[in-house]
C-alpha cells in the first residue's frame, strides 16, 4: 500500500478505514468563488464508488438547501437534499432535540431561510407586539429592516431567549460592498439589550457535525470534517471529536497549520490527495 505526498504525517490505515462520512466545506475546499476545482467532481465520484457518504456544509443560512443544490448543479455537482447541511438546518435540529417547547419564532432572516423553518413546523411571528414568540432567532438577513431589528430587540428585552444561526461578522464577497452578517446583527442587538444570544450555531459550534452524525447514525471517529479554515472547520472537528482534515486550497497555509495549537489532525494539499489516500486503504 502506498500513500501519495501529503503535507503532514500519514494517518494509520486503520484510522482511515473507519471513515464512513465526510463533512465538506464548500468555498475554498470544493470550489473557489464561482469556480469548481478540477479535482472536485472526480473526488466526489470516487467517494460514491467507495461508499463513503458526503455532506456539504455552509455557515450561510440565507439560502435554503434547495438553493444550494441548484448552485452546485450549475457547477456540475448533483447531490441529494440530505447532502446539504446549513447552519439553519443545524439550528432546526438542535431546537427540535433540545428545546421542543419552542415553536414560535421572531425571525431575522431571508425568505429562503424563513421557508426552511416553516417547512420544519415552526410558526414565524409578525412584527406586532401582540404576536408574541417563544424565542428570537437571528440569521444572515439580507432583507433586514430597522423595524424588525427593533422588534427583535424588544422581545429580547422582555426576556425571550435568543439564538443565532452563525457567528460570522461579514459574508465574503468580491463586490464593492460589505455584507453585514449574522454576528454583526447580534452585536447590534447585544449593545441595545445587554444580552447576547444563548447559543450561536454554525461552525465552529459542534452542532454542525453532531447533527450530521445523528442523521446518519455515525460515531465521531466515523466522520471527517474537511475544510480550509483552522478556526472554523478544524476547531469544530476537534469540539465534536471528529477527524479534522485541513486542505490548502483556500485560506489556511502550511505556516498557519504549523502554528496552530492544537494542530489539524491531517494537512493535505487538496481533496485529490484525500481521495487517493482513502482509496488506498480500501484496496
pLDDT at 145 (0 to 100): 98
**Whether the predicted pLDDT of 202 surpasses 50:** yes
Q: Is the pLDDT of residue 236 over 80?
A: yes
Report pLDDT for 172.
82
Mean pLDDT in residue range 235-241: 97
Q: Cβ(23)–Cβ(226) under 8 Å?
A: yes
Mean pLDDT within 86-112: 97
pLDDT at 3 over 90: no
Q: What is the pLDDT of residue 2?
A: 39
- Average pLDDT, stretch 39-46? 98
* pLDDT of 6: 57
Q: Which residues pair with 175 in a beta bridge?
A: none
The structure's pTM equals: 0.90
> Could you tell me if 54 and 21 are in contact, meaning their C-beta atoms sit under 8 angstroms apart?
yes
User: Does domain 13-59+203-280 sit in CATH 3.40.190.80?
Assistant: no
Residue 22's pLDDT is 98
pLDDT averaged over the chain?
A: 94
* Residue ranges of domains in the chain: 13-59+203-280, 99-200
Answer whether residue 72 shows pLDDT above 50: yes
- Per-residue pLDDT at 65: 94
With a cut of 80, say whether residue 1 has pLDDT above it.
no
| pLDDT tens readout for residues 100-155 | 999 999 999 999 999 999 999 999 999 999 999 999 999 999 999 999 999 999 99
Residue 225 parent element (H or E): strand 223-227
pLDDT in tens, 243-270: 999 999 999 999 999 999 999 999 999 9
CA distance 264 to 120: 35
Q: Is residue 197 classed as helix, strand or coil in its secondary structure?
A: coil
The span from the CA of 15 to the CA of 280, in Å, is 12
Angstrom CA distances, 168 to 126, 149, 218, stand at: 26, 18, 28
Residue (of 68, 60, 66, 85) closest to 171 by Cα position: 60
Torsion sign, CA atoms 57, 63, 69, 74: negative
**6-37 tens-digit pLDDT:** 567 788 899 999 999 999 999 899 998 889 99
Percent of the chain whose predicted confidence (pLDDT) is above 90: 91
Residue (of 79, 145, 90) closest to 116 by Cα position: 90
Domain 13-59+203-280 identical in fold to domain 99-200: yes
Q: Does residue 80 register a pLDDT over 70?
A: yes
What class does CATH assign to 99-200? Answer: alpha beta
Amino acid at each position: 500500500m502506498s500513500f501519495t505526498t501529503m503535507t503532514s504525517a500519514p494517518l494509520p490505515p486503520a484510522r482511515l478505514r473507519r471513515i464512513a462520512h465526510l463533512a465538506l466545506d464548500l468555498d475554498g475546499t470544493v470550489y473557489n468563488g464561482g469556480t469548481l476545482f478540477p479535482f472536485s467532481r472526480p473526488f466526489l465520484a470516487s467517494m460514491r464508488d467507495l461508499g463513503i457518504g458526503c455532506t456539504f456544509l455552509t455557515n450561510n443560512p440565507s439560502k435554503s438547501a434547495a438553493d444550494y443544490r441548484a448552485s452546485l448543479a450549475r457547477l456540475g455537482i448533483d447531490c441529494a437534499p440530505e447532502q446539504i447541511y446549513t447552519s439553519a438546518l443545524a439550528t432546526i435540529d438542535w431546537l427540535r432535540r433540545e428545546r421542543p417547547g419552542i415553536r414560535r419564532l421572531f425571525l431575522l432572516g431571508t425568505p429562503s431561510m424563513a421557508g426552511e423553518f416553516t417547512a420544519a413546523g415552526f410558526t414565524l411571528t409578525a412584527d406586532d407586539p401582540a404576536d408574541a414568540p417563544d424565542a428570537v432567532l437571528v440569521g444572515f438577513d439580507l432583507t433586514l429592516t430597522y423595524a424588525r431589528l427593533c422588534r427583535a430587540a424588544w422581545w429580547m428585552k422582555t426576556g425571550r431567549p435568543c439564538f443565532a444561526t452563525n457567528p460570522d461578522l461579514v459574508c465574503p464577497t468580491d463586490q464593492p460592498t460589505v455584507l453585514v452578517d449574522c454576528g454583526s446583527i447580534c452585536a447590534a442587538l447585544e449593545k441595545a439589550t445587554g444580552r447576547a444570544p444563548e447559543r450561536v450555531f454554525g461552525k465552529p459550534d459542534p452542532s454542525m457535525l453532531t447533527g450530521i452524525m445523528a442523521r446518519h447514525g455515525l460515531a465521531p471517529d466515523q466522520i471527517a470534517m474537511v475544510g480550509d479554515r483552522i478556526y472554523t472547520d478544524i476547531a469544530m472537528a476537534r469540539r465534536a471529536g471528529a477527524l479534522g482534515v485541513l486542505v490548502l486550497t483556500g485560506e489556511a497555509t502550511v505556516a498557519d497549520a504549523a502554528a496552530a495549537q492544537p494542530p489539524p489532525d491531517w494537512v493535505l494539499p487538496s481533496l485529490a490527495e484525500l481521495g487517493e489516500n482513502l482509496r488506498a486503504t480500501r484496496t
